[in-house]
Amino acid sequence: MKKETYDVIRKNNERPELVIRRFTRLIQEIGLLRTVKEAREYRKPLNRKARRELALRNAKIKQEKRGYKI
């Protein structure tokens, strides 16, 4: 994971809650929050069959959400 700094500068007379909200939004847009949550615990890599089954299941769920029938 790259070590970078992300700054959110407080604007004149801006409430601290809004600064925290802007920072949180920035972190989510960058994808850093997801990366940190995934790195909390190690997951064993899936084998080829398990990856294929997972991809098929996700594709089926995605199509059902869009209203297509399989």
- Residue-wise pLDDT for 31-52, tens only, equals 888 888 888 988 888 999 999 9
Q: pTM to 2 decimals? A: 0.52
Q: At 60, which helix (H) or strand (E)?
A: helix 48-66
3-state secondary structure of 26: helix
In which band, very low, low, confident or very high, does the pLDDT at 20 lie, cut at 50, 70 and 90? very high
Contact 35, 1 (CB under 8 A): yes
**With pLDDT > 70 as the criterion, what percentage of the chain qualifies?**
94
**With pLDDT > 90 as the criterion, what percentage of the chain qualifies?**
54
Contact 20, 11 (CB under 8 A): no
